[in-house]
């Protein structure tokens, strides 16, 4: 996308006009959830909360992949780092996420071979260069990254990289939205749906949830005009009492999504249950390796089966991910829990709600 084209979605005049229209149409209190952590950061970075009517509340949702990773999965990653002749590879966001007793960063500091990579293909190259060691990749992500993980395993299989495996904590977005709508105490008047995920899934992926719960929903991009347009659409739908599923990001998202990426993803993975931090187990919300690719399953290869454990005492990360609390309502926020000494992943991840509040609020 050219800079000129991007500037159209950062146009101050257009943004002011959208704010004016939002204020003109809004007569009732609204609780709108931006599902994606990238939206949360964009909303704070552009000061969007500060220009909205007092009656519109924006809630951060479960769209930060690191934040929704269950405590037992973090514990598994830490356990791998303590194994002899094992190299753990991960994206940087996971390094400081606290497990029950340690973090990957702490284990690295005392000698564990933990390496930050920028692509899962980097992890495969590490495995090729270290044939006498096992390389485990911490596979955390939504539909945006699962196809890349799948493609990497096809590469590893074709090149017979037998000392490489993944521990998958992959998540699918639409089932989480349905789980939120069923959860006690959750009050949501509209969803700002994730742009990046929707590039892969397409608009059609949300139709089942929308048709069942009849909730205003809009897919948007991440520039100020994108976000404000999405909020205006949700406000108009609520005021008119006519909920709809709208794609307001057509320059990137289609109805069907990226069919090739989905085909690769479904070739390697199959739908399974998954445990989400704060929400619990959601049926058909995860992706596990198919039988023909189980040789790349680190949990199976090393016999790892971590028990379910509660979140750290006092941490409200789970409630924040469900829109039940804001970070400022957590008793640990800015007191015990800070970016330098995080208690929960919402303060660690670059897409975490607590990290966004801490940096911008």
Going along the chain from its start, the domains and CATH numbers come out as: 71-172+259-302 (3.40.50.11740)
pTM of the model: 0.93
Instruction: Name residues of the chain where pLDDT drops below 70.
Output: 1-6
Per residue in 109-143, pLDDT (tens digit) is 999 999 999 999 999 999 999 999 999 999 999 99
Position 6 scores a pLDDT of 66
Position 308 scores a pLDDT of 85
Closest CA to 79 of 120, 125, 41, 114: 114
Position 3 scores a pLDDT of 46
Cα separation, 253 vs 257, in Å, equals 6
Position 5 scores a pLDDT of 59
Position 83 scores a pLDDT of 97
């Amino acid at each position: 996308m050219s800079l000129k084209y991007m500037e159209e979605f950062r146009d101050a005049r257009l943004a002011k006009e959208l704010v004016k229209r939002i204020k003109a149409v809004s007569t009732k209190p609204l609780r709108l959830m931006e599902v994606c952590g990238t939206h949360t950061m964009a909303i704070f970075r552009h000061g969007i909360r500060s220009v909205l009517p007092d009656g519109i509340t924006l809630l951060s949702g479960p769209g930060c992949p690191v934040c929704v990773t269950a405590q037992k999965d973090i514990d598994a990653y830490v356990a791998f780092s303590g194994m002899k002749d094992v190299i753990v590879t991960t994206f940087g966001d996971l390094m400081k996420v606290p497990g029950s007793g340690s973090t990957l960063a702490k284990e690295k500091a005392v000698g564990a071979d933990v390496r930050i990579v920028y692509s899962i293909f980097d992890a495969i190259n590490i495995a090729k260069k270290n044939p006498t060691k096992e390389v485990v990749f911490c596979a955390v992500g939504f539909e945006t990254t699962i196809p890349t993980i799948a493609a990497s395993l096809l590469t590893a299989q074709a090149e017979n990289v037998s000392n490489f495996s993944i521990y998958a904590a992959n998540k699918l977005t639409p089932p989480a939205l349905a789980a939120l709508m069923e959860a006690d105490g959750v009050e949501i008047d509209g969803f700002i749906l994730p742009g990046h995920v929707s590039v892969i899934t397409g608009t059609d992926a949300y139709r089942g949830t929308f048709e069942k719960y009849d909730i205003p929903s809009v897919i948007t991009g991440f520039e100020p005009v994108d976000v404000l347009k999405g909020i205006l659409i949700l406000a108009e739908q609520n005021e008119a009492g006519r909920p709809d599923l709208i794609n307001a990001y057509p320059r990137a998202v289609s109805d069907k999504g990226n069919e090739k990426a989905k085909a690769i993803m479904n070739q390697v993975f199959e739908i399974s249950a998954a445990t989400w931090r704060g929400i619990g187990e959601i049926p058909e919300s995860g992706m596990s390796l198919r039988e023909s690719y189980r040789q790349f399953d680190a949990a199976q290869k090393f016999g790892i089966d971590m028990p379910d454990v509660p979140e750290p005492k006092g941490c409200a990360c789970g409630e924040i991910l469900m829109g039940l609390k804001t970070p400022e309502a957590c008793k640990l926020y800015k007191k015990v829990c800070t970016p330098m000494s995080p208690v929960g992943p919402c303060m660690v991840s670059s897409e975490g709600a607590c990290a966004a509040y801490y940096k911008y609020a």
